[in-house]
Amino acid sequence: MSIELTLLACTLLLAIAQIMFAAFLRTRETGTAYNTSARDDEGPPVGKLTGRMQRAQSNLFETLPLFAAAVLIVAVAGREGTLSLYGCWLYLLARIVYVPLYALGIPVVRTLVWLVSLAGLLMVIAAALLGHG
């Protein structure tokens, strides 16, 4: 398996961790009985940290399908190289750094880190289109 595919798998683990952390925080706010129910009612208001983690999760899910598709195209087309490798690392590492920045409510740096992840995604897409780099 290529390093790019391994980094995609690591990104999926990050996504699962973000799902679980947001769910843990929400369960702590609402209680297990509510969280395991049909949740027909909205429940108590979402806390600040829980809301941030839900938004960070949603933000990851906006670009994750694009990243996964680009990595798969690179792998299937045999276009792995420096560009795709660095792009995958940039995307994953920036997404990891993004989570605590969002949790702490750090606005400008968080946006810059998101831009780094976007640059990584664009590098992988470029590798898919252009080949080895």
Q: What is the pLDDT of residues 65-118, one digit of tens each?
A: 999 999 999 999 999 999 999 999 999 999 999 999 999 999 999 999 999 999
CA distances from 115 to 47, 58, 73, 122 (A): 27, 16, 22, 10
As a whole number of angstroms, the distance between CA 7 and CA 81 comes to: 14
Global confidence as pTM: 0.94
Q: Which domain holds residue 20?
A: 3-130
CATH code (residue 75): 1.20.120.550
pLDDT digits (tens, 9 = 90+) for 7-31: 999 999 999 999 999 999 999 999 8
Torsion-angle region of residue 64: left (phi > 0), alpha (psi -120 to 50) or beta? alpha
Number of residues that make up the chain: 133
User: Domains in the chain: how many in total?
Assistant: 1
